[in-house]
């Protein structure tokens, strides 16, 4: 990340195919940021946008101080766009905002003020728009997230987030993990807080999500769940799954052997014998994979860090050396 003297707040806006009038949106965001009293910069990261929109941003950057526009060569996704923005951010406080209406610009000061008691602050838009199906989908998804992570989050789809610079020095985003940034921050030991904000009246998504979009989100969640729970304890995951598989396979083998010795039934042409053998082998392989993972973690344990120091209180320097 670069360092520019005087900049206190870096606002990163990833601009993808879904975006509203960028000039009007910038004016609303700028008014909200001005209410904080912080010296700020805006960084627009353009990710596969029509040339006309890029020209509008170029004109905006030429007219306004501390406005930068970064154009990616093609569509890399919002996570990549955010990481590019993070790399060019100069402020000690980072604010990410969507390129379309989600929250009112007047809520930005409250969002940043909440950083006094947290390292990452995310928004919960209220009251949320959407029909019954959309409400059920949101509750089911966030219920799954909260049950797997132990957090209490309700609006991971909101792109308005505030965080301290140190968070970005420990977290890397890829794929579509930008939605799960609070989960990754919590895993690293940062304090995550969610606040209620007023939803913009213009926050209306008129499109529709495809079935594969839901599947991708669930897969991303499972990936993060594994990272959160088992990154440093792979044997607990693979060992548990391997043990269950091995026990089921062994029990089936024992049943077949007993059936052959006691009842005299032939084992030939019985698919259950092949299935039980495969389960036993698979269970042993999963258990061995967990052990290999533990060896890798043990080897690199000194380089791994999943905690954050909040503060150090040391009065030794005040003591009389004599």
pLDDT at 187 over 60: yes
User: Picking from 12-21, 54-63, 102-111, 267-276, which range would have the lowest pLDDT averaged per residue?
Assistant: 267-276
**Has residue 285 got a pLDDT over 60?**
yes
DSSP secondary structure letters along 34-56: HTTT--EEEEEEE-S--HHHHHH
Predicted confidence at residue 140, as pLDDT, reads 86
Q: To the nearest whole number, what is the mean pLDDT of the chain?
A: 83
How high is the pLDDT of residue 88?
A: 93
Q: What is the pLDDT of residues 18-50, one digit of tens each?
A: 888 999 999 999 999 999 999 999 999 998 766
Residue-level pLDDT at 99: 93
Which residues make Cβ contacts (< 8 Å) with residue 259, sequence separation at least 6? 265
CB atoms within 10 A of CB 225: 18
Q: How far apart are CA 11 and CA 67, in angstroms?
A: 9
| Residue 189 burial (CB count, 10 A) | 14
Tell me the residue length of the chain. Answer: 322
Phi, then psi, of 85 in degrees rounded to 5: -65, -40
What gap in Å lies between CA 293 and CA 285, rounded to an integer? Answer: 12
Whole-number Å distance between alpha carbons of 149 and 183: 7
Please check the confidence at residue 113 and state whether its pLDDT lies above 90.
yes
More confident residue, 16 or 225: 16
Residue 281 has what pLDDT?
A: 92
pLDDT, average across residues 297-318: 59
What is the crossing angle of helices 271-299 and 234-262, to 10°? 160
- Residue listed under structure tokens 């440093």: 232
Indicate whether 186 pLDDT > 70. yes
**Percentage of the chain with pLDDT > 70?**
83
> Looking at residue 241, what DSSP letter applies?
H
Sheet containing strand 9-15, strands side by side: 67-71, 40-46, 9-15, 93-96, 161-164, 120-126, 192-198
Cα 177 from Cα 200, distance rounded (Å): 24
Comparing 239 with 164, the larger pLDDT belongs to 164
What pLDDT sits at residue 315? 58
Residues with Cβ within 8 Å of residue 312, at least 6 apart in sequence: none
Q: What is the pTM of this model?
A: 0.74
The percent of residues above 90 in pLDDT, for the chain, comes to 38
């Amino acid at each position: 990340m670069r360092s520019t003297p005087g900049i206190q707040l870096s606002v990163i806006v990833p601009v993808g195919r879904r975006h509203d009038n960028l000039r009007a949106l910038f004016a609303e965001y700028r008014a909200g940021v001005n209410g904080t009293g912080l010296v700020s910069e805006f960084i627009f990261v353009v990710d596969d946008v029509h040339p006309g929109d890029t020209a509008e941003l170029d004109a905006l950057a030429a007219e306004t101080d501390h406005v930068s526009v970064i154009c990616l060569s093609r569509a890399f996704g919002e996570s990549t766009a955010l990481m590019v923005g993070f790399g060019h951010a100069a402020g000690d406080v980072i604010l990410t905002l969507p390129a379309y209406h989600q929250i009112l610009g007047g809520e930005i000061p409250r969002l940043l003020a909440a950083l006094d008691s947290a390292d990452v602050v995310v928004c919960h838009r209220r009251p949320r728009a959407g029909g019954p199906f959309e409400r059920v989908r949101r509750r089911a998804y966030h219920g799954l997230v909260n049950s797997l992570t132990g957090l209490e989050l309700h609006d991971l789809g909101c792109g308005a987030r505030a965080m301290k610079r140190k968070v970005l020095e420990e977290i890397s985003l890829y794929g579509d993990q930008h939605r799960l940034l609070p989960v990754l921050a919590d895993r690293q030991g940062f304090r995550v807080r969610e606040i209620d904000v007023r939803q913009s009246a213009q926050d209306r998504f008129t499109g529709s999500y495809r079935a594969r979009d839901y599947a991708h989100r669930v897969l991303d969640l499972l990936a993060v769940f594994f990272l959160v729970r088992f990154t440093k304890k792979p044997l607990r995951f693979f060992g548990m799954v391997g043990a269950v598989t091995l026990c089921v396979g062994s029990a089936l083998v024992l049943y077949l052997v007993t059936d052959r010795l006691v009842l005299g039934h032939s084992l030939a042409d019985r698919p259950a014998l092949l299935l039980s053998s495969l389960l036993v082998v698979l269970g042993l392989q999963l258990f061995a994979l967990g052990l290999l993972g533990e060896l890798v973690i043990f080897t690199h344990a000194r380089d791994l860090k999943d905690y954050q120091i909040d503060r150090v209180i040391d009065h030794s320097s005040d003591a009389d050396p004599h």
